Amino acid sequence: MTGPITTERHDDVLVIISNNPPVNALGAAVRQGLDAGLKEGLADASIKAMVIRCDGRTFFAGADITEFGQAMQEPGLPTLIEIIEASDKPVVAAIHGTALGGGCETALGCHYRIAVPSAKIGTPEVKLGLLPGAGGTQRIPRLAGVPIALELTAKGDPISAKKALDVGLIDRLAGEDSLVADAIAFARDVAGVRPLPIASRKTAAPDPEAVAAFKKDNAKRFRGFDAPAANIACVEKASDGSTFAEGIAFERQEFMKLMMGVQSAAQRHLFFAERQAAKIDGIASDIALREIKRVGVIGAGTMGGGISMNFLSAGVPVTIVEMQQEALDRGTGVIRKNYEASAAKGRLKPEQVEQAMGALKPTLDFAELAECDLIIEAVYETMEVKKDIFTKLDAIAKPGAILASNTSYLNVDEIAAVTSRPQDVLGMHFFSPANVMKLLEVVRGAKTADDVLATVMALAKKIKKVAVVAGVCHGFIGNRMLMPRQVEANKLLMEGATPEQIDRVHVAFGMPMGPFQMSDLAGVDIGWHRDPTRIENIRDALAAEGRWGQKTGKGFYDYDEKRNPTPSPRVAEIIEEFRSKSNLQKREISDEEIIEKTLYTMVNEGALILEEKMAQRASDIDVVWIYGYGWPVYRGGPMFWADTEGLKKIVAGLEKHGFKVAELLKSKAESNGRFN
């Protein structure tokens, strides 16, 4: 046989092998090859059993996502799995790496499954807004019961081979280095077994209590998403006494509904957008990168500590610098506490904690940064302080060291200009808490060298960040788009909306919190001028009265001891005072107007960012907002959402309220174009 599938005969066992790098995706050629391999084994009377295995680093890690939305070439995956099940000779799946999605379903269609201990098995389709559509929702409950089926399908997280063995999804563990030999031996052991165990012929016991508990426990996680509910419904169908054929028909119907829906399109868009964001336009993919053996971090506060943890966790030694011993001790103490909290939850071993802390070098001596290959400044957000630090860095950093600022708004070119090496300077805007949040905006200065940018983008992957290239402008991509939302939300307060109405509209849209809840969480006093006699707006008035948000128990809302918010009569008074001073009449504000003024303006700002080439592509903007600001995943990011809303509708909404529409947005609307 040729193509990605080959066969090997081991006496009376035929081994069917897939070699379709990088992840043995189940594309048309693989499915056709598997079908031919099975036919070969069935046609040969001397073959008593068959093994399906994969070369490379993994078993089938899923369907070929590039085929989604296109006509499926035969045999489709459901048909192929039926062919496997129908074999009158035992078929054994030999699993290493990950058996995910269609790979897991293929394994479940085999009569027996053997896996190495390090293997993982799962159905992550829900993360693309889908369900395992080749019988996964019907076979898993029949083999392992309803609770494990709910976990695998509706949450989409894989389980270990050991757990899969315990629950009945695999039949035997192989030696870590002897999978092929062990699978062939297993095939011989079962060669004479009749009737063959077939997942689709088993029955699943109903478990309404498990379903109810699962829904309740995951209500917050699933809020707004369609796919988890469809997965749950399919698992229930598998266990309600329906035949397998009825269950498969129901699964297919639910799969098609999701596949044709906006949410899955949004989630698939994000899947590709995240991968696209790593690519830098105009720079060769094979450019030589600078070696980063040690990272320096200036500032041991919340941000500096979180940034340090990213590198320590990835095995990169860190030198962390502070001005005062007390601040240094406090910062390193918080890092240790965070690691120990992870260890207490079983996410890290105690020796990993000590290994990470052992790679941290705390110091008060700025000159210690001379040994670092990358130095990240994470201090107070003022230009004077940052220029002072970069002037000092320029004097002590070794030639070729990359100098980065964690600024969230300031001009990186202005910072770079105080050095004699602007080509080595860029922005690395981490999001707080930096050891948790996945987004990293990498800000490319006017003189940033190509290899510097490429090195930092590659390093981002190493520290498990989703990195996006941004240009130099006030607020870069994310914070620049946040500004119109905050400005318009504050204007709406003056015109008659309440903080709770505006926040409710944003939460209903799918945001984790609204603008005023966010302000209270971050701190109303952030960026405040600290003069209680200078009251120019509502925020100044709140800050002057000590209403600094959750940390003081009162901000735009009043908070109880558990930080539960309630509308504040005092805030209503302050808003009314400002409204009177401005001679504004209070009026009814509709939810639709809130969306138009706070979210349509973000889209408009996104269009300006693209016009000015401050972002490489619209999908990069979507990645920023999904990973940095909690934009609902099922809406695909602001630019994708604008496409689904209709750009003509967005333009009309902006014009209705007198906003100047970005030329790019206007031209795309007029030509029925899209951002993505």
CA distances from 402 to 358, 407, 412, 417, 471 (A): 24, 15, 13, 14, 18
DSSP 598: I
Instruction: Provide the CA 281 distance to its chain's centre, in angstroms.
Output: 22
**Encoded tokens for 381:** 């957000």
List the beta bridge partners of residue 570: none
- CA angle 115-120-121, nearest 5°? 90
Instruction: Count how many residues are written for the chain.
Output: 676
- Residue 106: count of CB within 10 angstroms of its CB: 30
Catalytic residue list contains 176:
no
In angstroms, the CA 15 to CA 13 distance is 6
Q: Are 432 and 378 in contact (CB under 8 A)?
A: no
Sign for the pseudo-dihedral over CA of 378, 479, 674, 595: positive
Q: Which candidate in 125, 236, 251, 254 is catalytic?
A: 125
In angstroms, the CA 441 to CA 391 distance is 23
Q: Tell me the CB-side half-sphere exposure of residue 569, using CA atoms within 13 A.
A: 0
Instruction: Provide the CA 60 distance to its chain's centre, in angstroms.
Output: 22
Q: Are 528 and 564 in contact (CB under 8 A)?
A: no
Name all contacts of 548-551 with Cβ < 8 Å and 24+ positions apart.
Answer: 548/523, 548/524, 549/519, 549/520, 549/521, 549/522, 549/523, 549/524, 549/525, 550/520, 550/521, 551/523
Q: Which candidate in 105, 377, 488, 500 is catalytic?
A: 105
Residues 6+ apart with CB under 8 A from 42: 87, 88, 89
**Encoded tokens for 235:** 């698992």
In angstroms, the CA 304 to CA 318 distance is 11
In angstroms, the CA 207 to CA 216 distance is 15
Q: Are 637 and 273 in contact (CB under 8 A)?
A: yes
For 363, the enclosing helix (H) or strand (E) is: strand 360-363
Task: Give the amino acid at 251.
Answer: E
Task: Give the amino acid at 426.
Answer: L
Q: Are 478 and 614 in contact (CB under 8 A)?
A: no
Name all contacts of 194-203 with Cβ < 8 Å and 24+ positions apart.
Answer: 196/87, 196/88, 196/90, 196/111, 197/111, 197/112, 198/85, 198/111, 199/85, 199/108, 199/109, 199/139, 199/142, 199/143, 200/85, 200/135, 200/138, 200/139, 200/142, 200/244, 201/244, 202/142, 202/143, 203/142
**Encoded tokens for 481:** 């788009």
Residues 6+ apart with CB under 8 A from 168: 143, 144, 145
**Encoded tokens for 394:** 């320029």
In angstroms, the CA 669 to CA 664 distance is 9
Catalytic residue list contains 246:
no
Instruction: Provide the CA 290 distance to its chain's centre, in angstroms.
Output: 27
In angstroms, the CA 499 to CA 508 distance is 14
Q: Catalogue the active-site residues.
A: 105, 125
